[in-house]
Chain A
């Protein structure tokens, strides 16, 4: 292992001595009395200011003393521990006790199912699996519906593809990862979130703004990381069945076997269909396509002291059919939609800890390979694409001197081979991106606060992009400062790039007759993101509350605009002609108003504008400037009943300029959408320890966009277009589901 250390260190021009400075250091680790490692515990020599904080694996390192001295360990909620260390003693295991206190605090402190950590440097919102159970959450894109940070747009009227927005910008500007591994890029982009079934999710982390450079130069507005259930921690058998009046049926089965030795196996299976025969707005087009998806993931985990590894295979097939219901008198044939996706992905990870005899030295390797095929017919348009991708990353983490200073270095390689054709046009391309990153973290322990009060992360990466033949330098930094344990300010600044996949990302435009016009000078997109966050926890009438304020600005250096205003029969893609930015402010309050009763209010303000070809700085269409979300959650004290309800309010959205379209095609299409609210509710009833039944309704007030397709009565017309959707097309939808685990649901 030592050889690898030296090799890697040499590779990155860090002299090996950097890693061996710790000779005169005392190392050790901190656990609670359940022998679980504690992260962020303060460790210091008694009556001195000399100390360190335990790292992400619970280990610490600080300068050793040459006389017998007392080491003090503080961790919030635990009785401080003191241990006498004699000269020459090393690798100290310190245990802090006070579990009864911990349990008490868990009940109080963790009552919010979505939270912003008070310890993390970056502004990361954690959505727990408990939060995900408050809505049917059949897949990842739907799981954001209870969340104020990510907005889910209404599905395209013809293709049913839903898009998300983060910080006011399209989802493609954020980076999608599964367990910290970038995935489902390229041609898979429009469907990515629908390929992670909701029950597979163990939690989601939303990192807003400039985040870590570990995972590449992408992620201008942030990172969305989905954590999946692990075979050694998930229930041995779990079954979820779901049905809705939309004609949707879904079955999820998890099988997990914790091996006798160190090996665990898991099989996650998903099957779903939507047999949609609805045309609730009477436009002779199905409101959303019928769908069939089969999806499976097999996982093998191996864990032993100092080493852990995993291997995964995911395979899926997805078919959708929709479009026109019956031919128009005098015409033959239908404008029908047929989309097929097939995907196989294989990935593995292997990690070592304690390299070179130092517990804080860690190496992590990940490798993945995927194959994705996407074939589609949108009326007369034919799309066919195949993508082969490969990704490799090797992370090395160590400390400089003490665990207050940690450093991560990682080389990586991304390779994509995309064969893509639209009708007769060939858009095939290859992209190879070798790169390397380095990230330094400083934490200043604060003994009074029993946590680091200042954390600073500075990182940078350099990548070569073969498709655009550019060397990309991506610097990013973030800092956190605790005024007190309950009051935190965060700041982040960083640059990001994006390699566009214009056809795949705008696939829904093919379901229309607009001509697509691409400028010849389209290259990488580039932007800087600046963010501020302030989080304050407090008591109101002796109950817990949290207030959080986010202020973000994304400033594009280069942005590709899809201009849908210039001509109603054409979509032009070109580089913004001047200023192009997004300002986004999110304020939210969470309040545990009564035991078991949480209220969340959030308000978001988005100002997203760009300079179009005519030189005018204009608001991007279909982005609401004001959005509000109110959620109420109540769980009875015996935990047998849970009630969840939420109301989302959407402010006016500018619609593309339809003034040149003959009125017979647009009907009553407005220029600005009205303000409206959508109300959803769900009741969950637990029956025994093994079974849970949930019933709910979406869009209870039945608000609906009546005309979503322009020229719906004439699909041959050059104006035919289903992309101007600003509200649901479906009225009330009711659903019913069960969750069953013979070994207990562990709510």
Chain B
């Protein structure tokens, strides 16, 4: 049933292409197009925090803050330039699993000993 909702409601307000506008419109927003999002990134320590935040600040991300206790990474970004999935990948690339993207085993193995967080499986 879900997919039906996706398809059917879109035509209510047709700016341009009627129907199938979901993807096209994804990521449209306000003035700044500045958005905030949060997701879980696995890590342990202050060293992890530095690495995660540095990795997250790809082009288009204006601020990144990772909380050691909650493991939540908050990013503020320009959504016309970058999508959250790219940040997930950037963080995973330096060895930290996110709730969506798993880091490469070899990269994880190379992390400092104190940063070897417990992996889900």
A residues sitting closer than 8 Å to B (CB atoms) are 27-29, 31, 33, 35-40, 56-59, 75-78, 83-84, 89-95, 97, 102, 105-106, 109-110, 115, 117-120, 124, 126, 179-180, 202-203, 205, 225, 227, 230, 232-233, 301, 303, 305-306, 308-310, 349-354, 356-359, 362-364, 395, 397, 408, 451, 485, 537
Contacts and interface: CB of A to CB of B under 8 A. Distances in A.
A120 B8 contact: yes
B72 A305 contact: no
A256 B34 CA distance: 33
A205 B11 contact: yes
A353 B31 contact: no
B85 interface: yes
Interface of B: 1-20, 22-39, 70, 72, 79-80, 83-85, 99-100
Given A37-B22, A57-B28, A351 B12 contact: no
Contacts of A90: 36
Contact of B37 (A56, A93, A309): A93
A59 B79 CA distance: 14
B8 A124 contact: yes
A180 B11 contact: yes
Contact of A106 (B3, B19, B31, B83): B3
B25 A58 contact: yes
Contacts of B5: 39-40, 76, 117-119, 451
Most chain A CB within 10 A, of B30, B38, B80, is at B30
Nearest to B99: A97
A72 to B, nearest CB: 14
Most chain A CB within 10 A, of B16, B22, B79, B80, is at B16
A351 B2 contact: no
A230 B17 CA distance: 7
Contacts of A225: 11, 18
Contacts of B30: 27, 91, 354, 357-359
A126 B6 CA distance: 13
19 contacts: A35-B26, A35-B27, A37-B25, A56-B13, A90-B36, A93-B35, A105-B3, A115-B4, A117-B5, A117-B9, A119-B4, A180-B14, A202-B20, A227-B11, A301-B16, A305-B79, A310-B16, A451-B5, A485-B1
A353 B28 contact: yes
Most chain A CB within 10 A, of B12, B39, B79, is at B12
Q: Which 4 A-B pairs have the closest CB atoms?
A: A351-B15, A357-B31, A77-B2, A117-B8
Given A84-B72, A305-B28, A120 B33 contact: no
Contacts of A84: 38, 70, 72
A102 B3 CA distance: 7
Nearest to A59: B29
Contact of B1 (A58, A76, A350): A76
Most chain A CB within 10 A, of B15, B27, B39, is at B15
B9 A397 contact: no
A59 B30 CA distance: 11
Given A37-B22, A92-B35, A93-B84, A117 B16 contact: no
Contacts of B27: 35, 305
A28 B25 CA distance: 14
A159 B38 CA distance: 65
A353 to B, nearest CB: 5
Given A39-B9, A120-B8, A308 B33 contact: no
Contact of B33 (A37, A110, A180, A354): A354
B12 A56 contact: yes
Contacts of A485: 1
B26 to A, nearest CB: 5
A351 B28 CA distance: 12
B24 A303 contact: yes
A109 B11 contact: no
Given A77-B2, A105-B2, A106-B2, A179 B18 contact: yes
Contact of A31 (B7, B12, B26): B26
Nearest to A233: B20
B104 to A, nearest CB: 20
A633 to B, nearest CB: 18
A351 B83 CA distance: 22
Contacts of B7: 126
A118 B4 contact: yes
Nearest to A102: B2
Most chain B CB within 10 A, of A39, A203, A356, A358, is at A39
Contacts of A202: 19-20
A225 B79 CA distance: 33
A689 B12 CA distance: 33
A300 to B, nearest CB: 11
Nearest to B16: A308
Contacts of A359: 28-30
Contacts of A89: 36
Contacts of B19: 202-203, 227, 230
A109 B3 contact: yes
A94 B17 contact: no
Nearest to A406: B13
A146 to B, nearest CB: 19
Given A78-B2, A356-B31, 12 more contacts: A38-B6, A56-B12, A58-B26, A89-B36, A90-B36, A93-B36, A109-B2, A117-B4, A118-B5, A305-B29, A363-B15, A364-B16
Contacts of B35: 28-29, 91-93
A528 B99 CA distance: 55
A77 B16 contact: no
Contact of B13 (A117, A119, A203, A364): A364
A659 to B, nearest CB: 49
Nearest to A178: B18
Contacts of A363: 15
Given A91-B35, A93-B37, A357-B32, A36 B22 contact: yes
Nearest to A363: B15
A37 B29 contact: no
Contacts of A408: 13
A37 B15 contact: no
A276 B108 CA distance: 73
A397 B28 contact: no
Nearest to A76: B2
A83 B38 contact: yes
Most chain B CB within 10 A, of A56, A59, A357, A408, is at A56
Nearest to B67: A84
Contacts of B70: 84
Contacts of A351: 15-16
Contacts of A306: 28-29, 33, 80
A299 to B, nearest CB: 10
A180 B20 CA distance: 14
Contacts of A308: 15-17, 24-25
Given A118-B4, A119-B5, A97 B100 contact: yes
A27 B36 CA distance: 10
Contacts of B37: 83, 92-95
Contacts of A354: 28-31, 33
Contacts of A92: 35-37
B29 to A, nearest CB: 5
Given A95-B39, A126-B8, A364-B13, A33 B100 contact: yes
Given A84-B38, A353-B28, A77 B11 contact: no
Contacts of B1: 76-77, 105, 109, 118, 485, 537
Nearest to A104: B2
A39 B10 contact: yes
A84 B37 CA distance: 10
B6 A353 contact: no
B18 A227 contact: yes
